[in-house]
Amino acid sequence: MALPTNQQLRYWGIAAAVFLLAIWLLGDVLLPFIVGGAIAYFLDPVADRLERTGLSRVAATTLISLIALLLVVLLVLAVIPTLFNQLTALVNAAPDIAKRLQGFLLARFPELADSTSTIRQTLAELGAAIQARGAQVAQGVLSSALGVISIVLFIVVVPVVAFYLLLDWDDMVARIDSMLPLDHAPTIRRLAREINAVLAGFVRGQVSVCLALGTFYALALMLAGLQFGLIVGAIAGAITFIPYVGSLVGGTLAVGLALFQFWGDWLQIGIIAAIFAAGQFVEGNVLTPRLVGKSVGLHPVWLLFALSAFGTVFGFVGMLIAVPVAAAIGVLTRFAMEQYRASLLYQGKAGLLPPTDSLTAAPETPKPARSRKGKPESGA
C-alpha cells in the first residue's frame, strides 16, 4: 500500500531541507566536487558516443581526459598570460584613469572645485561607498578562495573527481534508478528526463554563446585598437549567461575605456559602441535562438531571481547550483500545473461528467447521397 500523500510530502520536504542545509554548511568544501560533477555530466554524452564507436568506457574516459588536459595546457600557455598582463595593466592604470576623469569633470563642471557643492559631496560619498564595498568584495574573495579552499587542492581535486565520476556515470545513474520508489518511478523518470533536457539545452547552449561572444568581442575590440580589448571581451563573454548583465558590464567598460583612450575621436568611440551593438544583435537574433532555443523554459527573470537568491544565501556555490535548481523547479512547476488542470479543483462540475461514448451517442441522421453534379440522388 502506498504511503499517504501527506507523509510523502513530509519525506520529500525533509530531503530538500537536508540538501539545502548541506549546501549552506559545506558549500566551500563541496565546491570542487560540484565542479567535477558538472564536468562529468557535460562530458558523459561524449563518452557515450565514443563507446558506440567501439571504445571501452575506460578508454573513452582516458581519451577525453587527455584531450581536455591538452586544451587546458594550450589555454594556459597561449591565452591566460595575455589576459593576466592586460588585467594587471588595467589595475595599474586605474589611478591615472581616475585623475583624468577628475580633470575632465572639473574642466566641464567648475562648481565641483567648491568643496561645499552638492555634486562634489555626492561624488565623494559615492567614491567612499565604492571604496568600502570594493574592500569588502576583495576581502570576501580572498577569504573564500584562499582561506577555505587551497587553489592547488582545487586544481588537483576537480580533475580527479571528474575522471572517476565520468568513468562510473552510467553505473551511478542505474543504481539511483533502481532505488526510486516503485509507485512513482515512471513519473520520476519522466521528470528527470525533462530536467535533463532543459538543463543540457540551456547550459550547453549558453556555454557556446559565451564562447562565441567572448571571442567576437575580444578579437573585434583588439582590431579596433582598444588597449584592454582582450580582457574586456573575456569579461563580457564570461558573464553573458546572466541576462543583460554581460552586455551592460562589457559595453560600459569598453565605452568607458574608449572615452579615455580615444577622447575627441568620436568615430573610434562609435566603432567600439557599434561592436557591442552588433554583438547583442547577433546574440538575440542568431546565437541564442539557434544554440539555446525557447524550449528550455528558463525565463530570464526567473534565472536572474535564482542566481540572486542562491548567490546571496549560499555564495559562489549557490550560483553554480542555481541553474540546475531553477531548471528542476521549472519542470516541477509545469508538472504541477498539468496535475492541477486535470483535477476537479480546476475542472469543477465538468470533470464529474462521464466521457461521451460512441455507443451511447445519438445516431447521426444519414445525409442523402449526392450525384456528381451535386444534386441529391433519388432512392431506388
Q: What's the helix, strand, coil split of the chain in %, to 5?
A: 80, 0, 20
Query: Minimum mean pLDDT among 138-147, 150-159, 285-294, 348-357: which range?
Result: 138-147
pLDDT at 239 over 80: no
Buried (b) or exposed (e) across 217-244, using 16+ Cβ within 10 A?
bbebbbebebbbbbbbbbbbbbbbbbbe
Contacts of 321 by beta carbon, 8 Å cutoff, 6+ apart? 23, 34, 310, 314
Mean pLDDT of 4-25: 81
Is the pLDDT score of 379 beyond 50? no
Most trustworthy range by pLDDT among 55-69, 88-102, 231-245, 318-332: 55-69
- Output the CA–CA distances (angstroms, integers) from residue 104 to 98, 107, 110, 134, 135, in the order listed: 10, 5, 10, 24, 26
Position 55 pLDDT exceeds 60 = yes
User: Which pLDDT score, from 0 to 100, does residue 280 have?
Assistant: 81
- Distance CA(217)–CA(223), nearest Å, equals 10
- Is there a contact between 209 and 237 (Cβ–Cβ < 8 Å)? no
Sign of the four-CA dihedral 84, 86, 91, 92: positive
3-state secondary structure of 344: helix
**Domain boundaries of the chain, sorted by first residue:** 23-117+149-179
Find out whether 202 and 296 touch, Cβ atoms under 8 Å.
yes
pLDDT of residue 124: 62
Confidence at 99, pLDDT banded by 50, 70, 90 = low
d(CA 339, CA 152): 49
Q: Is the pLDDT of residue 378 over 50?
A: no
> Average of pLDDT values for 184-209?
83
For 334-348, what is each residue's pLDDT tens digit? 888 888 888 877 787
Percent of the chain's residues with pLDDT above 90: 1
The 10 Å Cβ neighbour count of residue 159 is 17
DSSP, residue by residue, 218-256: HHHHHHTT-TTHHHHHHHHHHTTTSTTHHHHHHHHHHHH
Other residues' Cβ atoms within 10 Å of the Cβ of residue 283: 21
Whether pLDDT at 216 is above 80:
yes
pLDDT digits (tens, 9 = 90+) for 109-151: 665 556 666 666 665 665 556 555 545 554 554 454 444 445 6
CA nearest to 272, candidates 321, 332, 221, 307: 221
R_g of the chain, CA atoms, integer Å:
29
Most confident of 93-97, 130-134, 136-140, 231-235: 231-235
Residue that wins the pLDDT comparison between 93 and 238: 238
Rounded to whole angstroms, the Cα distance separating 320 from 199 reads 13
- The mean predicted confidence, pLDDT, of the chain is 74
Supply the pLDDT for residue 148: 46
Identify which of 98-102, 205-209, 210-214 has the greatest average pLDDT: 210-214
* pLDDT tens for each residue of 360-369: 444 555 555 5
pLDDT digits (tens, 9 = 90+) for 321-337: 887 888 888 888 888 88
Cell, residue 300: 530570464
CA distance 247 to 261: 21
Q: Which of 114-118, 119-123, 205-209, 298-302 has the highest mean pLDDT?
A: 205-209
Q: What's this model's pTM, rounded to 2 decimal places?
A: 0.61
Rounded (5°) CA angle 315-318-321? 160
Backbone angles phi, psi at 182, to 5 degrees: -60, -35
Residue 36 has pLDDT above 50, yes or no: yes
Least confident of 78-82, 142-146, 271-275, 366-370: 142-146
User: Average pLDDT of 41-64?
Assistant: 89
Q: What is the DSSP letter of 350?
A: G
